[in-house]
Amino acid sequence: MNLHTLTRPRGRKAAVAALAAAAGISLALTGCSGGSGSGSGGDSKATVTYGIWDTTQAVVMKQLAAEFHKQNPNITVQVQVTPWDSYWTKLKTSATGGSAPDVFWMNDANFEQYASGGAIKDLQPMVDKSDIKMSNYVPAQAKAYTYNGHPYGIPKDVDSIALWYNKKLFKEAGVQPPTASWTGDDLIAAAQKLTNPAKGVYGIAAQNTGQQSYYVTIPQEGGYVISPDKTKSGLDSPESIKGIQFWTDLINKYHVSPTLQAQTDTAADNMFESGKIAMIYEGSWAAAEFAGVPYTKANADVAPLPKLAQAGGVSNGLANVMSAKTQHPDQAWKWLEFLGGKHAADVQAQTGIVIPAYNGTADEWTKSPVSKLYNLQPFADDLKVATAYPSSQNTAAWSDAIATELNKAYTGDETAQQAATNAAAIMNKALAAEKH
């Protein structure tokens, strides 16, 4: 089977970069059943390698590895950090050669390709014999890491989207801060009052970044990006078109958002950080980012997403997966099981860096040090209604293409209906080429 490398940045890059595909790279996997190898018994001595890409999280992951080793003295966990820019390329090469880390990070966008390509283990037999329950995790992420009805990944952390706003600009414009009762109409009305062309200030940024725009509003309007069986696009449904038009109207009808060209020249996050945008749909990861900028540290805060036809949102996240070719499956599972427990989730929550995927621990994250600056509760609340990040066996074949097509609606060159219809056709052609 072929496995094409698809990447998606997390953190600041996620706010401004689209999904990037390494064109022409494929990974043919054969004979991917995990070997028992030396040290396959759970109590035998072994070193379990653990592949991650985030140097910030490496500190806490090494802390957890040391704690795990105290409980399991025969198992040493070696945390291997590969920078995001080379993580997927290196993983593709190592998976092909049988030298991938025993356990490694996986994201929503790549998951189904690795599962269907045989690069990672079906964890169902191990889950059945353990205390791990997929119901322990945020539903959208438990579902996202299930393939053919079986768990192939144990959810690690999640992100969600909320409405970031500038308290200073709201006060200067005499506009009351957003509340949980806000609707889309309330947002538009506030954005109109907050927009000040003379000062170069816009009420909101209409981004064409999927997760911070139409991936949120499409389910809020009752539509869907991809069908549950991942064989059909839903972009051309009336509900989905409304979710897309919500954003294009902000630019072309209400003129309360900078154009896409302006956002290309200066990223929306940077505009928000300099007081040129009063509101922005942005992720939980931005809490640490904005706290590091003096202006947004002093003037930003968070509110719930305005409701459209219904409450909703989108959740992306990471899972820990096991290499199909690991020589230490029993020890690797012990480490996976440890990472999948509430204690490991609590430790990560207390750092404030990520929201753990373990149910209930998002509340612990909302009490982390950064909560002294911002109201983080809307992110935790949104996880209860969020849908999973749209993906398929070959997300790269359609993700960038639909964003490019939808650009035409953002620029006003096409209506939202025209662009959505064309985008759905592109997506359906790509999905039809997948083997289910």
* 112 shares a domain with 129: yes
Rounded distance, CA 348 to CA 28, Å?
35
Query: So what's the pLDDT on residue 159?
Result: 92
> Domain count of the chain?
2
Ranges in the chain, pLDDT < 70: 1-43, 436
Query: So what's the pLDDT on residue 251?
Result: 98
If phi over 0 gives left and psi between -120 and 50 gives alpha, with beta otherwise, what is residue 104?
Answer: beta
Condensed to tens digits (0 to 9), the pLDDT of residues 96-131 reads: 888 999 999 999 888 998 999 899 999 999 999 999
Residue 82, H or E segment: none
Rg, Å, the chain Cα set: 22
**Amino acid occupying residue 1:** M
CA terminus-to-terminus distance, the chain? 12
Query: So what's the pLDDT on residue 23?
Result: 25
Q: Look up the pTM and report it.
A: 0.82
* 299 shares a domain with 319: no
* Count of Cβ atoms closer than 10 Å to residue 18 Cβ: 16
For the chain, the residue count is 436
CATH of the domain at 279: 3.40.190.10
* 352 shares a domain with 226: no
Tokens of 370: 């950064």
Query: So what's the pLDDT on residue 4?
Result: 32
* 128 shares a domain with 184: no
3-state secondary structure (DSSP) of residue 219: helix
Among the three residues 353, 372, 388, which one is the final residue of a domain in this structure?
Answer: 388
Condensed to tens digits (0 to 9), the pLDDT of residues 240-277 reads: 999 999 999 999 999 999 999 999 999 999 999 999 99
Question: Which residues span the domain enclosing 174?
Answer: 161-314+392-432
* 278 shares a domain with 259: yes
* 113 shares a domain with 76: yes
